Chain A
Amino acid sequence: MSRYSAFSLLRGALTGQRHWQPAWRDPEPKSHYDIIIIGGGGHGLATAYYLAKVHGLKNIAVLEKGWIGGGNTGRNTTIVRSNYRLEPLHNLFEFGLKLWHGLSDELNYNVMFSPRGAMFLGHSDADMVKLAERGDAMRCDGIDADLLTRDQVAKLEPLLDMSRDARFPIQGGLIQRRGGTARHDAVAWGYARGADSLGVDIIQKCEVTGFVRDGDAVVGVETTRGRIGAGRVGICVAGNSGHVAGLAGLKLPIESQTLQAMVTEGVKPMINSVIMSQSLHCYISQSDKGGVVFGGDPDNWPSYAQRGHPMVMEGAVAQGLALVPALSRLRMVRTWSGVTDMSFDGAPIIGETPVRNLFLNGGWCYGGFKATPASGYTYAHTLATGKPHALNAPFSLDRFERGATIDETGSGPMPNSR
């Protein structure tokens, strides 16, 4: 693999840019791999990358039913942050945030990580108390969080409706300045290029249709491109976890729902940070291209359809317009939706399954993109050693029967109420 650099670009300029090579190979599947990862999204590719890089494993395949990064990696709002109140959550996401800050250098691929600040709005006294409590919990673990006054919020985001009779009056906020956004495709492509150069086979258009069992263990997968043997198999298909785990006879604490997002035409800079309101469940940011990206609640009923319903979109738009009235002058150019694994406590599931040699990484609800590096790093540890990593141990599949749920919103086992 040739390194990307300003120098190579300059040299290419003198030779008509004919030096470009494909960033990863398109190999035929082998008959056996030590580790197979099902799912070539950001998480699966990151897992493969860290398996090869950190654990020195070579005989690894990533199986993707469509094209890499074409699922939820390409269907999110690219927000990166670690501002959770509960310790297991903010520790995992903070580990990821630290990786994000060096990711472009690590991968020699510009993931366009832009730490512009991720801000929660507070709309009431109760909101402000909750935000202060969350910020305190984060700072206890060394994660940055600053409580903002109403004036500070107004100064940072002049286009917010700060009037006293606003539909959603703003009293203040909580900002994590190291949070921001990144380029979704680049994350998948960067990890794919890195993993491929370390010997990982990335096999696209290869859908897993079943598992090969030997007693209580999984010893391979059936795919649309034939049977492939494996020492260990890692499911990494958030959105379709229920379906794929179902092929192995597992019933998961997950319900799949659709989450929509949308983007306006490109305009000059108008949103400086990532504006989020958890009381409303609305999040707004501006892409580097100038489009204002925003999203809202999931469609609160089960669905695997990668398209959403207008009535939910209308709700998100209403919230966005109430917060930033100037958005009403913009045209919406694109909407999309992804299938999210809504878990039963709102936290992800990473670790062993009751089936030997079969591992699961899923249940990311609507917050998986930001975790891509942390998810890959810790899942790679689990797949390589067969044991949980310290950071993913609390997220084991059996936590529900043990009563050890990680319920950030405290809304109980109801995926449709999150």
Chain B
Amino acid sequence: MMRIPCPHCGPRAQSEFIYERTVDSVVPLNAPPEEAMTKLFTRNNPRGVDDEVWRHTYGCRAWMIVTRHRVTNEISGCRAIGPEALP
């Protein structure tokens, strides 16, 4: 089991979290059909590091972006998503 450093609650067991999708597959509300199709139906799926959207479902229930290595499971970053995290 992985330990995910929730930006709100600190390090917690992975069993409290649910994986949703990757950042590259989040469909913007104004995406044209081509882009929406690509994002809905394809993934980069690298054998390496990717940015993933996880949710601390059995904790603070917040969404976050976890940067994780797909082979070693090493988590190199975890940042909050939400109004305060927007650029």
Contacts and interface: CB of A to CB of B under 8 A. Distances in A.
B1 A310 contact: yes
Contacts of B58: none
A104 interface: no
B45 interface: yes
B38 A305 contact: no
A262 to B, nearest CB: 17
A140 interface: no
A309 B3 CA distance: 12
Contacts of A242: 43-47
Interface string A396-413: 000011000000000001
B22 A413 contact: no
A413 B22 CA distance: 13
Interface string A226-256: 0000000000000010110010000111111
Contact of B50 (A240, A302, A309): A302
Among B2, B18, B41, B46, find the residue whose CB has the most chain A CB atoms closer than 10 A. B41
Contact of B73 (A253, A305, A344): A305
A414 B19 CA distance: 11
A335 interface: no
Contacts of B22: 302
A255 B14 contact: no
Among B21, B45, B70, find the residue whose CB has the most chain A CB atoms closer than 10 A. B45
Interface in B18-50: 18-22, 37-38, 40-47, 50
A304 interface: yes
Given A303-B73, A304-B71, A311-B1, A251 B44 contact: yes
Main secondary structure of the interface of B (DSSP, over half): mixed
A164 B21 CA distance: 40
A59 interface: no
Interface residues of B, number: 26
Given A302-B22, A311-B15, A344 B41 contact: yes
Contacts of A256: 45, 47, 70
A301 interface: yes
B6 to A, nearest CB: 16
Given A253-B41, A256-B70, A309-B1, A304 B15 contact: no
A304 B54 CA distance: 18
A251 B42 contact: yes
A242 B43 CA distance: 8
A114 interface: no
A251 B71 contact: no
A246 B1 contact: no
A416 interface: yes
A254 B43 CA distance: 6
B42 A243 contact: no
B70 A303 contact: yes
A255 B1 contact: no
Interface in B32-81: 37-38, 40-47, 50, 52, 54, 70-73
B31 to A, nearest CB: 14
A142 B15 CA distance: 44
Contacts of A309: 1-2, 14
Given A302-B50, A304-B71, 5 more contacts: A242-B43, A242-B45, A251-B38, A400-B37, A416-B21
24 contacts: A242-B45, A246-B46, A251-B38, A251-B42, A252-B42, A254-B45, A255-B45, A256-B47, A300-B19, A302-B19, A302-B45, A302-B52, A303-B71, A304-B47, A305-B71, A305-B73, A309-B2, A311-B14, A311-B15, A344-B41, A344-B42, A401-B41, A413-B40, A414-B21
Interface of B: 1-2, 14-15, 18-22, 37-38, 40-47, 50, 52, 54, 70-73
| List of 9 A-B pairs having minimum Cβ-Cβ separation, nearest first | A242-B45, A301-B19, A243-B47, A400-B41, A251-B42, A304-B47, A304-B70, A253-B41, A304-B71
